[in-house]
Amino acid sequence: MANNAITRTFTILGADGAGKTALVEGLLRLADSRRAAPEGSTSRLDAEPEEKKRNFTLSIHPESFEEGGRTFHAFDTPGFAGFLNELEWALQVTDGAVLAVSATDGAHNRSERPYDILCDSMRPAFAVITRLDHDQADWKKALADAESSLKVRAFALHLPIGQRGEQKGLVDLLTMKAHLPGKDFGSFTVGEIPAALRADAEERRAALVEAAAESDDELLGKYLEAGELTDAELLQGLRAGVAGQRFLLAGCAVAKTGVGMRELLDLVAELVPGPEARIVKGVDLGGKPVERKATADAPFCGQVFRTTIDHFAGRIDYVRVLSGTLRPDAVVMNPRTRSEERVSHFFRTDGAKTAEIEASGPGDVVVLLKLKDARTGDTLCDANAPILVPDFATPNRPIAFSVHCKAGDDKAAVALQKLIEEDPALELLRSSETGEMLLYGMSKTHIEVTVERLKRKHGVEVTLEVPTPLYLETITTVSKAQGKHKKQSGGHGQYGDCHIEISPLSRATGFEFEDAIVGGTVPRQFIPSVEKGVRQAMVAGPLAGYPVVDLKCKLFFGSYHDVDSSDMAFQQAGRIAFRKAMEEARPILLEPVMRMDIRVPEEYVGTVMGDLNSRRARVQGMEPQTRSVLVRALCPQAEALQYDADLRSQTQGTGYFTMAPSHYDPVPPQIAQKIIEKRRADGKVRGIEE
């Protein structure tokens, strides 16, 4: 293949355990012959303690290296379901992708969701079958599994030479030559295809040619006439098919021994488009659409795709250069904040190290230090040619935990906000109803990792608890009551008397107040006081002390005293009347119901449906998807708080879901009684006179 001076920026994705980080380590070792093979199972790339503890990647790790006059920027990304938002962000700022498929596990083991995200991004991609040096490796089975599990036509680009665990090279189906390992890591000599593999190689080469021809009308015509394509035409057709996601091409690579590693970079160079192919699209400061070419002489534009805050180095921002050239002492603008900053120095990353560089152009990845206002997703651009590129999409955060800190919630909140600057997939909210500080995230593991980072980076220890669902109270029938507040203690007394009727309203209506006083039995100036007292009483209902909703209150009679009546007296009368009326209106508890979209492989649908039924969920329907089944359900929030871990367990990590509030429904009587008893034991219910 061609070996021109080029730049390629690409994402490596796949299931956790597919060997993504090992691939990047192998590529770095290939580029630097002095780099030794990583010892043990923990890579230099997964340098954070939380990653070492779990032995998998938790965030984007961009690595830059040069090989054969070519510059590559490879993004190692998480494969664990709770961190796949990082994959979405990586794909947004890279030009293509490599899907790692384990030769031991195949593609069915948690590869479907990363592949869904890849397809949604419309990035061109090909696959590489990894871990061929393991005794249980079966590349043919892995390729067939990718085709069946990912619902895509899959074609081999390489044939491994050797039995399981004993890789002796590979057959390149593009050149129809054998590549036999050389003395140096990743080097090879070219030879003839072993006789035992010749027939399989010819059959798979023919399938490749046919797939390439079908991707281009001109090539198809030539193929139908001549029955063959040149090597250049074959690559042309394969590029077109990859760009259109018409099929999945699959190479082979062994990160430990170097077999296939240089061929992997050759495939990246040929199948992943260069940065110049991208059109940078955004808006100017007035919101008008802007487009520009991704050339080195265009105005500078870049996007922050990762932010970290180091205790010693301060803020560290990783930026993909989209257009133009960044040089030392450049002044860049953040269109979101309209602020400008001078970039004195910038760096590129190589494993756990950084090296200062003098200039960076389209496709490059740079590390900027101590920017004041930037955050993940922000645009940085030339102040004289402002452009704001699309920010990263806000993820659905289905999981929340209540956060408690012995040192004080304020201290925890300040520290958590710093972590949120690093990870926008987190959100911290204070519940106005329960008073709890709620930390929202992508999964239970995501939240747990955040808590560990909070302690390590900021010295703040917190505990997590399942949050309290926000129950409500309402009424089911009409009732009337009198509320009289009369108090005499020398001098002016207090007197307020009102008669009200409360009646139920339809769900989510809220509260209505009707003034039905006739003949001035309650003076005009005190009618708002009664309403205010009723509203105050609705803050905590009589059953379990939860807010009361969805009712109408009608004030129809009362009495007053010329001297002793006052605003405060009628407020108290309104509170007393409302609480008495509530006791006769057959109050009930309401619970929040969540709308859930659950995507699972077809083989787990029965298990998931049975579990949903046990959670009092109501399945609204099922829709077949390309690689899964979408189950739509309504589930009480109290039953969904721990759903993340349970769904992973039921589906071997392949299922995932989104969740959002839907509506409120009555709590079943037997469950409501337990809630009421606990709340009363905790002293959460007020008396009528309080």
Judgement on whether residues 422 and 449 belong to the same structural domain of the protein: yes
Kindly indicate the confidence band of residue 685, based on its pLDDT and cuts at 50, 70 and 90.
confident
What share of the chain has pLDDT > 90, as a percent?
76
Two structure tokens written together for 21: 């980080």
Looking at the structure, tell me whether residues 252 and 357 fall in a common domain. Answer: no
The whole-number pLDDT of residue 276 equals 94
Alpha helices in 58-186 (DSSP H): 85-93, 112-121, 139-149
Beta carbons of 127 and 145 less than 8 angstroms apart: no
pLDDT tops 60 at residue 412:
yes
Model confidence, pTM: 0.87
CA Rg value for the chain: 32
On whether residue 681 sits in a domain, the answer given is no
Output the pLDDT for position 41: 45
In a domain, 20, yes or no: yes
Over residues 377-381, mean pLDDT:
95
Which has more confidence, 311 or 513?
A: 513
| Residue-wise burial string across 166-202, b where 16 or more C-beta atoms lie within 10 A, e elsewhere | ebebbbbbbeebbbbbeeebbebeeeebbeebeeebe
pLDDT confidence of 44, banded at 50, 70, 90? low
Mean pLDDT of 296-301: 96
Tell me: do 577 and 519 sit in the same domain: yes
180-190 per-position pLDDT tens digit: 999 999 999 99
Confidence of residue 33 (pLDDT cuts 50, 70, 90): low
| Integer Cα distance of 456 and 462 in angstroms | 12
CATH of residue 565? 3.30.230.10
Query: CB-based contacts of 172: which residues, under 8 Å, 6+ apart?
Result: 157, 158, 178, 179, 263
Cα–Cα distance for residue pair 109/101, rounded to 1 Å = 9
pLDDT in the model for residue 225: 86
Residue 643's pLDDT band, with cuts at 50, 70 and 90, is very high
Q: Yes or no: say if 409 and 437 are a contact pair by the CB < 8 Å rule.
A: yes
What does the alpha-carbon distance between residue 326 and residue 359 come to, in Å, rounded to a whole number? 6
CB atoms near residue 135 (< 10 Å): 9
Tell me the average pLDDT of the chain: 91
In 3D, which of 64, 645, 586, 667 has the Cα closest to residue 364?
64
Check which CATH number belongs to the domain holding 24 and give it. 3.40.50.300
Residues 56 and 169 grouped into a single domain = yes
Statement: residue 411 has pLDDT above 50: yes
Q: How confident is the model at residue 162 (pLDDT cuts 50, 70, 90)?
A: confident
CB-CB contact of 21 with 101 (8 Å) = no
User: Average pLDDT in the 121-145 region?
Assistant: 94
Among residues 682, 594, 601, which one has the least CA distance to residue 648?
601
Whether residue 320 is found in the same domain as residue 266: no
Please check whether residue 391 lies inside any domain of the structure.
no
Domain CATH number, residue 411: 3.30.70.870
Q: Where are the alpha helices (DSSP H) in 75-130?
A: 85-93, 112-121
- The answer on 169 and 75 residing in a single domain is yes
Single out the residue in 586, 614, 638 at which a domain terminates: 586
**Residue 329 belongs to domain with CATH number:** 2.40.30.10
Q: Residue 531 and residue 86: Cα distance in Å, rounded? A: 51
**Per-residue pLDDT for 351 more than 70?**
no
Per the model's pLDDT, the better-predicted residue between 463 and 688 turns out to be: 463
Q: Is residue 624 part of a domain?
A: yes
Residues 558 and 421 in one domain: no
pLDDT at residue 432, as a whole number: 77
The whole-angstrom separation of Cα 477 and Cα 474 is 10
Count CB atoms within 10 A of the CB of residue 390.
Answer: 12
Residue 626 lies in a domain: yes
- Least Cα distance to 429 among 411, 394, 403 occurs for 403
At residue 42, does pLDDT exceed 60? no
CB environment 547-559: b (16+ within 10 A), e (fewer): ebbbbbbbbbbbe
Residues 259 and 298 grouped into a single domain? no
Within a domain: residue 373? Answer: yes
In this prediction, residue 3 carries a pLDDT of 41
| Reported confidence tier of residue 241, pLDDT bands at 50, 70, 90 | very high
Together in a domain, 502 and 531: yes
The residue segments making up the domain with residue 569 are: 472-586
282: Cβ contacts below 8 Å, ≥ 6 apart: 289, 290, 291, 301, 379, 387, 388, 389, 390
The residue-averaged pLDDT of 602-623 equals: 96
The C-alpha angle 341, 45, 114, rounded to 5 degrees, equals 90
What crossing angle do the helices spanning 217-226 and 195-214 adopt, rounded to 10°? Answer: 130
Q: For 49-58, 374-383, 437-446, which range has the lowest pLDDT when averaged over its residues?
A: 49-58
Q: Which helix (H) or strand (E) holds 390?
A: none
Q: Is the pLDDT of residue 37 over 70?
A: no
Of 551, 569, 586, the last residue of a domain is 586
Do 184 and 99 lie in a common domain? yes
Residue 23 pLDDT grade (very low, low, confident, very high; cuts 50, 70, 90): very high
Looking at the structure of the chain, the number of domains it has is 5
Question: pLDDT-based confidence at 4, cuts 50/70/90?
Answer: very low
Q: Are residues 32 and 77 in the same domain?
A: yes
Q: Which of 1-10, 484-493, 533-542, 668-677 has the lowest mean pLDDT?
A: 1-10
Distance (Å, whole) CA 640 – CA 598: 12
Q: Report if residue 453 sits inside a domain.
A: yes
Residue 202 has pLDDT above 50, yes or no: yes
65 and 172 in one domain? yes
Checking if the pLDDT of 150 tops 70, the result is yes
